[in-house]
Amino acid sequence: MEKETQYTYGFEKLNIWKDSILFAKDIYKITETFPNTEKFGLVSQMRRAVVSIPSNIAEGSAKQSLKDQARFTEISKGSLFEVLNQVIIAYELKFINEEDYLKIREKIDSLNKKLKAFENSQIKRYKKQ
């Protein structure tokens, strides 16, 4: 029997989507160290927000309109800043050490720049139509 080739969707080829998946994995790993009392609090909130970043990129890729695609990229940026806020809280509560906090901030800064550039390219292409 021949092995079936798996189809790759457009969003799976996007570096911004790949980077946001890696960032989600980082947040999942770091929240594993949080106190058990935060399992249904901050851990749950952070994980939902970080998963929303690549999820909205993927969902936006299925939209016909570039304007709609840019809107989903904007939602991804909002989720990124939600994670930033939660990371700050976790750091203030001493759930995250300074070294990890600074590494996460760097990744957030990088993802934010990439999301902005991605959104700007979508808007630019939309305006050319």
Instruction: Specify the range with the lowest mean pLDDT, choosing from 4-8, 47-51, 67-71, 114-118.
Output: 4-8
User: What is the per-residue pLDDT for 5?
Assistant: 64
**Tens of pLDDT along 54-66?**
999 999 999 999 9
Provide the b/e sequence for 72-92 (b: ≥16 CB within 10 Å).
bbbbbbebbebbbebbeebbe
Over pLDDT 90: what percentage of the chain? 90
List of residues 6+ apart from 36 with CB closer than 8 A: none
Residue 114: is its pLDDT beyond 80? yes
Instruction: Kindly report the length of the chain.
Output: 129
Q: What is the rounded average pLDDT of the residues 18-32?
A: 98
Residue 1: is its pLDDT beyond 60? no
Q: Please name the CATH architecture into which domain 10-128 falls.
A: Up-down Bundle (1.20)
Residue 2: is its pLDDT beyond 90? no
Residue 109: is its pLDDT beyond 60? yes
8-state DSSP, 40: T
What are the residue ranges spanned by the domains of the chain?
10-128
**Tens of pLDDT along 54-98?**
999 999 999 999 999 999 999 999 999 999 999 999 999 999 999
pTM assigned to the model = 0.92
